[in-house]
Structure 1
Amino acid sequence: MLESLYVKDFAIVGEAEIVFGPGMTVVTGETGAGKSLLVDALLLLAGGRADAAMVRHGCERAELSATFDLAGRGDLRAWLAAEDLDEDGACQLRRVVRSEGSSRAWINGRPVTLTQLKTLAAGLIEIHGQHEHQALLDRAQQLALLDAFGAHEAEAAEVARTARAWRDTGARIAELSRGEDHAERVEWLGHQVEELDRHALAPDDLAALEERHRRLANSGQLLQGCATLAERLDGDGEYALLRMVARVQHEIAQLATLDERLAPVGELVDTAQIQLSEVNDALARYQSALDLDPDSLAEAEAQLGKLHELARKHRVRMPDLKAHADGLRDELETLRGAGASIASLREQQQRQRKAWDAAAKALGTRRAAAAKTLSGAVSSLMAELGMRGGRFEVQLETNGEDDPDPQGAERCEFLVSANPGQPPRALRKVASGGELSRISLAIEVAALGSDTIGTMVFDEVDSGIGGAVAEVVGQKLHALGARAQVLCVTHLPQVAAQGDRHLRVSKSSDGASTETRIDALDGKPRQEEVARMLGGIEITRETLAHAKQMLGKRG
């Protein structure tokens, strides 16, 4: 439900904030006062085309914002959350139009695209006017309204579910088929897997091979280095470490006889001598185990060369070859069973097609019955709304698709003949704006409670009518307001008197500028406004009494 609307420097409105409530709100005012500016503002907030002419003369930009109550609209709250636009249950639409014609939009303070703005607004507000685009003119919306009117939610959901299942199975078949020669692919994968299984190594094994290759490739240098170290540790030279340590041991032992405090130093030297001896023994063992083996080196180089070749061929790193082989093996096993899988999936898809056929037939039967009922109800209401002899038809026709369609086997078109003797034509091709508005009203009243739109706006739906028909239009709008919030721009007192709330739009000028003002009316001011609509400029006691009587009859 629309809670408030704020406009600033919009057309001839300087600044205005309007608070709305439930039920039916009427908007009145003299011709040219700007009654339809409220509708224009809502159209712009719903994603309508922005124009520099919308900015008040002499101002840099026009600002508009509206807040909505989303109580009972879990679908819209879920959409806001999915788009990261939720804000503690709030719903505020804002739009700014600059004087050069550019515009920006926000939802709950976050910048959005016009597509996002239109998507959200389509679930919040529905505008019925003589010239504006209306959701009822869209064939998909017409089908949705018919299903809502006939309470086909369960049948429609089953049709959509079976159609999606059929398509998902088809996608799986296409994925397995891939449009290739399976035998050729299987043969190629088998060769690759066999080759990789023969040569690929796990990361730890690869690291061990690289370490072994490095050792074999440098065995000569390692042997030479070990021999040099052994000579420096325990060679025949005067400066071999173990000989020098032995001399140090002897000299410290001599000194320790003179001062016992040097005894611990001697022990440290003894420890060093032991460790150096262990180093010498370890080097000797390493040298004896190390061998110059050209054959082993050649074998390691060949193995690494093959791994490099496979890595380039499969475009993966050498450590990843084993995992790549596992992936190819999975694909190979899948393809080897693809023939049987595809056959099984085709049988499953046939069963899904039969399930969709049955669900679509059941939905089609219910749609046909609902179409007949809705056609009769709207035709009757058209007669009450001044289009006596007019006819409304809900036409169902096959969608022409061979494949299961999530929307069912048929499409819907609303047809209307506004005058006797005229053949029905598509609602979207009806030329008269006033007739289109009243037909829309008839459809909404006939389908009362069928859709979830919380706010409905009717702009000049009473165009071209008067008298008793105008009173009926007001009554129908009031009845609609009991279920949804209704905002109606009108010039007829019979309609204005039916409103639960009344807004008056007036225009004033100081000679230099013109400004529109919007006032909420109640009590005597409202009675005077209805009297003005009845009697024109001069308001008499008779017109005031008539206005009072009309206001007393509302509801």
Structure 2
Amino acid sequence: MLTALSIRDVVLIEALDLDFNDGLGVLTGETGAGKSILLDALGLALGSRADSGLVRHGTDRARVTASFAPLKAGHAALDLLDEAGIEVEPGEPLVIRREVKRDGGSRGFIADQPASAALLRDVGATLVEIHGQHDERGLLNPRGHRALLDAFGQIDLSSVAQSHGEWRAAETALAEARERLLNDVSEREWLDHSIAEIAALAPEAGEEEALAAARSDMQKGARLVDEMDGVDKLLAGSDGALAQLRAATRRLDRLAAEHPLFAEALAAFDRALIEAGEGEDSLSKAAEALRFDPAELDRIETRLFDLRALARKHRVEADGLAALLEDLTARRAAIDAGEQSLADLESRVARSQSAYRNAAEALHAARVKAAAALDKAVASELAPLKLDAAQFRTAVEPLDQSQWGPHGADRVEFLIATNPGAPFAGLMKIASGGELSRFLLALKVSLAEVGGAGTIIFDEIDRGVGGAVASAIGERLSRLSDSRQLLVVTHSPQVAARGTQHYMIAKTSDGTVARTGVRSLDAGERQEEIARMLSGADITDEARAQAARLMEVV
């Protein structure tokens, strides 16, 4: 609900602060007093185009601040603000501010945080509906008609939304499977070749490391054997060290009896011969251990090089070849099973599409039923509003399949025919602005319990009518104000008498500067203003009496 409006330097308004209550607020004043300026100022705060012509002459900027009652959790405006990263303290009024400079530049703020004009418009649309002769928002926009009909008929969309989600998920899975199968089929020849190539090599996990270690040991053994051959040449043979040591021992054996030291030397040489023999045995065993088959080394090297070359070809580690073979084999098997898999997915798509169709058909039937009820409700409101020759119809028509969605398969639009035999057309195509406003009122009254903005503004909805029709308009506005705040710019005393809050707009001039002002009227002032609306500039006692009677009827 709009609680306050502060305007500074907008056209003829120098400074204006207004407070609003719930119920029906009426704004009256003589023609040309500036009622449209008030609505233009509010529209500016709610994201309308920033026109530098709104800036009062002699000033550099215009400012408008609109305050709204704290919003309840779940309000659409709070969702928009949350998406935009604007924080609003729970329980605090929502304040929207807009400034326009003389050069046309503008700045917007919500809760004292910068906000774009687009965000002001989106948030403003959830807070205020402005219905004027050329307004193209709210009820006039066919894009919102389907949601209004669903709310009016209390139609549950969950079944359709769920079945639509399942259908789209099935279609996505099918499309992905087809793409995978198409790619795999195109690679069938490559897969067959790669599988055969890797399978022929039959790689095993850890094989590269084992082969590399065996190759390294063999290469090391070859080097050591060469070294051992040199040692053997020094030790073995008739001229070798061991043969010389044995010859020396035999000679000492003949001399040992001649001197004790010879005997000691002989004993040492004997021990050396024993140690040398043991060393010779160890060398023999080492030679046996290091001996390898060159053909085996060739086989190991060939196997190792083949593994590594194949790994490079497939851009994997050599130890990953076995896993790659499994993966390629699985992909090849998937090709063979692909047709059956596609058939299963196609069956799932068909089932889910059928389920969606059934849910959409049930939704369509519910909408048709709700449309008939809404048509009847609107029709009952037309005659009292001097629209008895007009007809209203809620069109529920099928959408092209490409446009089906979680909201069903219907396009909904409110249509009117202003004269018997005239074709039905959209609300925005009606010729008369006054008729349009009354149609909107009839529709809004019929949708009184359906969501929408908490504040509704009607601009001169009573234009061109009077008497009983004006009374009917006033009665319906009053009824509608029971469920939300209404502000009405009116020239009709019958409508003004219905107001629970009355504002008079007047223009004054000091001879050089004209100013527009607005003030809230008390009961006596209301009677005087309504009497003026009845009789014109010269207010008669009879007009005052009639004004009193109108106010008493209310």
Instruction: Give the TM-score taking structure 1 as reference length.
Output: 0.74
Q: Kindly provide the amino acid, as one letter, of the partner of residue 38 in structure 1.
A: L
Checking the alignment, whether the CA contact within 8 Å between 1:166 and 1:404 is kept in structure 2 is no
Tell me how far 1:169 sits from its aligned partner.
Answer: 1.8
Which residue of structure 2 lines up, in the alignment, with residue 230 of structure 1?
A: none
Instruction: Please give the secondary structure, in 2, of the residue aligned with 1:132.
Output: coil
Q: 1:193 to 1:429 in 2, by over 3 A?
A: farther
**Residues 362-382 of structure 1: CA distance to partner in whole angstroms, max 9, x if unpaired?**
111121122222112212211
Residue 113 of structure 1: how far off its partner (Å): 3.4
Aligned counterparts, 1:206-221, within 5 A = none
| 1:4 equivalent in structure 2 | 4
Aligned residue number for residue 180 of structure 1: 182
**Which of residues 80, 104, 108 in structure 1 aligns to 2:111?**
108
Question: 2:153 maps to which residue?
Answer: 150
SS in 2 for 1:116: helix
Q: 2:133 aligns with which of 117, 130, 135?
A: 130
Q: TM-score, normalising length from structure 2?
A: 0.74
Residue segments in structure 2 that go unaligned for 5+ positions in a row: 221-296
Q: Partners in 1 of 2:322 and 2:85 — Cα distance?
A: 42
Residues in 2 aligned to 1:189 and 1:98: alpha-carbon distance in whole angstroms: 70
Aligned residues of 2:100 and 2:106 also touching (Cα < 8 A): yes
Which residue matches 1:225? none
Of 118, 123, 127, 1:120 maps to: 123
**Identical aligned residues as a percent:** 36
AA of the residue aligned to 2:145: Q
Match of 1:363, SS? Answer: helix
Structure 1 segment 286-325 matched on structure 2, within 5 A: none
Contact 2:203 2:307 in 1 (8 A): no
Alignment of 1:16-95 (within 5 A): 16-68=16-68, 69-71=70-72, 73-89=74-90, 90=92, 91-95=94-98
Residue identity in the other structure for 2:103: E
Measure the CA separation in 2 of the matches of 1:105 and 1:484.
26
Distance 1:112 1:187, change over 3 A: farther
Aligned equivalents of 2:324, 2:116: Cα separation in 1: 43
Alignment of 1:148-547 (within 5 A): 148-152=151-155, 154=156, 156-178=157-179, 180-185=182-187, 188=190, 339-401=339-401, 404-547=404-547
Taking the aligned partners of 1:111 and 1:496, their CA distance within structure 2 comes to 38
Q: 328-337 or 97-106, which moves further after superposition?
A: 328-337
AA of the residue aligned to 1:505: I
Checking the alignment, whether the CA contact within 8 Å between 1:199 and 1:307 is kept in structure 2 is no
What is the distance in 1 between the residues matched to 2:196 and 2:84? 49
Count matched residues.
480
| Kept in 1: contact 2:7–2:13 (CA 8 A) | yes
Identify if the C-alpha distance between structure 1 residues 38 and 72 changes in structure 2 by more than 3 Å, giving closer, same or farther. Answer: farther
Amino acid at match of 1:182: D
Q: What SS class does the counterpart of residue 36 from structure 1 fall into?
A: helix
TM-aligned CA distance change 1:472 to 1:309, over 3 Å: same
CA contact under 8 A between 2:391 and 2:416: conserved in structure 1?
A: yes
- Is the 2:448–2:480 Cα contact (8 Å) retained in structure 1? yes
3-state DSSP of counterpart to 2:5 = strand
In 2, Cα distance between the equivalents of 1:14 and 1:196? 88
Q: Distance in 2 between matches of 1:71 and 1:322?
A: 63
Q: Which amino acid aligns with 2:534?
A: L
- Cα distance in structure 1, aligned partners of 2:462 and 2:190: 76
Does the C-alpha gap of structure 1 residues 191 and 59 become closer, same or farther in structure 2, counting only changes over 3 Å?
Answer: farther
Q: 1:50 to 1:337 in 2, by over 3 A?
A: farther
CA distance in 1, matches of 2:65, 2:56: 16
For the residue of structure 2 that corresponds to 1:515, the secondary structure is strand
Which of the two has higher C-alpha Rg?
A: 2
Q: CA-to-partner distance for each residue in 1:41-98, whole Å, 9 max, x for gaps?
A: 2333333222221222222222223232322644432332233223123533332222
Structure 1 unmatched ranges of 5 or more: 220-292
Aligned twin of 2:252 = none
Tell me how far apart the structure 1 counterparts of residues 407 and 88 of structure 2 sit (CA, whole Å). 33
Task: Out of 18-27 and 297-306, give the one that drifted further.
Answer: 297-306
Q: CA RMSD in A?
A: 4.2
- Is the CA contact (8 Å cut-off) linking 2:403 and 2:409 kept in structure 1? no
CA distance in 2, matches of 1:431, 1:25: 28
- CA 1:530–1:173 in structure 2 vs 1: closer, same or farther (change >3 Å)? same
In the TM superposition, residue 4 of structure 1 has moved relative to its aligned partner by 2.1
Amino acid at match of 2:80: W
Residues 500 and 181 (structure 1 numbering): CA distance in 2 closer, same or farther, change over 3 Å?
Answer: same
Query: How far apart are the structure 2 equivalents of 1:399 and 1:140?
Result: 13
Deviation at 1:438, TM superposition (A): 0.6
In the TM superposition, what is the alpha-carbon distance from 1:318 to its structure 2 partner? 12
Deviation at 1:343?
A: 2.7
